[in-house]
Amino acid sequence: MALELLKDVTIPKAATAYPLHWRSRVYAIVGLVVLLGVVMVVTSAIGSTHIPLATLGQVLLSKLPFIEVEPTWASSVETIILDIRLPRLLLAGLVGAALAVAGATYQGLFRNPLADPYLIGVAQGAALGAVIGFVLPVSWQAASIPLLAFAGALIAVAVVYSIAKVGKTLPMTTLILAGVALGAFLAAITSYLMIASGDKLHGIISWLLGTFSLTSWWQVTMVMPYIFVGIIIIWLHARPLNVMQLDEEQAQQLGINVERVKLILLGAATLITAAAVCFCGIIGFVGIIIPHAVRLVWGPDHRFLLPLTTLAGASFLILADTAARTVLAPTEIPVGVITAFLGAPFFLYILRQKKRAVF
């Protein structure tokens, strides 16, 4: 029997007896794409000014090429949809997708269910950068806060990485410890600056909790390329990430260039996280609950986990942000408060439903 194993492998019909569950997984992806579409349409109708879905559809159609729609709506309606709600929900979607995928990537890389996108210093670096931006003269703030947050995140991770590197290898435990230590150090500086910042404290705190108010198109176009490219790079490494769920030694013996994959995935996940936090602050919980919820329902295979996580993360954060701007309108609640408030019970519910080991 073994004799023919490597020669003339014929394809028995029963080879499909162990499916990869392609079909149900493809259905899941299609389902989440549809869900995301529905969420985007419905949430852009919701808000302080209620816009009927019919009007919304007409406004959107009128912007497509080759379609002529007679305007029957006030120009303010068009402004609300196209210049306020649409960029805001797109940014929320992008950030949700980025944080969720980065969370799934870190959990896979570290083989640790508690890993989140902020594990190795991104959040603390971004926070310090942003707070430095806040204490600068007011006229510089608009451009400098996101720039400093982005730079702070990348620099923090680069420092953690160079501390943790041993020769040509990167031990993951050392990386986590270095991240925690540097994070604490940066958080101390951030706290000091906050105490010393006086009347700017409110702005700083609402940034730290995360918010999408004041989103406009230029922010969307700024972060989109980073997040798109980063997510695609991560998706392409889904199989190596699966194999790395074995230990690193086995992954290497199965032909994975472990150190290179770690570097690429850490780099891509850090980049999209930095892009995600730089405009809207540190939104917690998305990177933990979305990947776990997806894993609980559809299993641990990263080839499906990563796309599903992307879609679910986008939908989730759009919904959370809609709640953030409507629940106490006209007051905005920081979206980070909503993600934790909605996310934690939802996650606990799923955890109760499926009590099997998922990690």
Partner 1 sequence: MLNLRLDKVSLGYGKRRVLHNIVLEAKPREMLGIIGPNGSGKSTLIRGITRVISPSSGQVFLDGQDIASMSHSDLARLMAVVPQNPVLPDPFTAFEVVLMGRTPHLGLLRHEGERDLAIVRRAMEVTKTVAFAERRIGELSGGERQRLSIARALAQEPKIMLLDEPTAHLDINYQIETLDLVRQLCLEQGLIVVATLHDLNLAAQYCDRLIMLSNGKIYCHGVPKAVINAQTIKEVYGAEVHVYPHPLNDLPATLIASEKDRHKLSQKSV
The residues that touch partner 1, with contacts defined as CB under 8 A, are 1-6, 9-12, 14-18, 20, 111, 236-237, 239-240, 242-243, 245-247, 249-250, 252-257, 295, 299-301, 356-359
The distance of closest approach from Cβ of residue 97 to partner 1 in the complex, given in angstroms and rounded to an integer, is 21
CB of 294 to partner 1, least distance (A): 12
Tell which residue, 32, 46, 145, has the closest CA to residue 97. 32
Say which residue the tokens 């934690």 belong to: 344
| Nearer to partner 1 among residue 150 and residue 304 (C-beta) | 304
CA 303 to CA 311: how far, in whole Å?
13
Residue nearer to partner 1 on the CB measure, 3 or 138: 3
Q: Which is nearer to partner 1, 351 or 358 (CB)?
A: 358
Q: How far apart are CA 21 and CA 15, in angstroms?
A: 13
In sign, the C-alpha dihedral spanning 98, 103, 106, 109 is negative
| Nearest-angstrom CA–CA distance, 115 and 176 | 9
Please, which residue, 185 or 235, has the CB nearer to partner 1? 235
CA distance 108 to 322: 30
- Cβ nearer to partner 1, comparing 23 with 50: 23
How many Cα atoms are found within 13 Å in the side-chain-facing hemisphere of 340? 9
Shortest distance, position 104 Cβ to partner 1, whole Å:
14
Q: Which residue's CB is nearer to partner 1, number 230 or number 240?
A: 240
Q: Cβ of residue 174: shortest distance to partner 1, in angstroms?
A: 14
Q: How many helices (H) and strands (E) does the chain have?
A: 15, 0
First to last CA, the chain: 36
**CA-CA distances (angstroms) from residue 163 to 166, 177, 185?**
8, 10, 14
CA distances from 51 to 55, 71, 221, 244 (A): 7, 14, 25, 49
Question: Rounded to whole angstroms, how far apart are CA atoms 24 and 298?
Answer: 9
- Is 68:284 a contact under the CB 8 Å cutoff? no
CB of 149 to partner 1, least distance (A): 32
> Which of 355, 352, 359 lies closest to 291, judged by CA?
359
Q: How far is the CB of 352 from partner 1 (least distance, A)?
A: 18
Amino acid present at 167: G
User: Residue 123: which of 135, 115, 134 has the closest Cα?
Assistant: 115
Q: Which residue, 69 or 246, is less far from partner 1 as judged by CB?
A: 246
Q: Based on CB atoms, which residue is closest to partner 1, 16 or 191?
A: 16
Nearest approach, Cβ of 260 to partner 1 (angstroms)? Answer: 9
Beta carbon of residue 119, minimum distance to partner 1 (angstroms, whole number): 20
- The type of residue at 332 is E
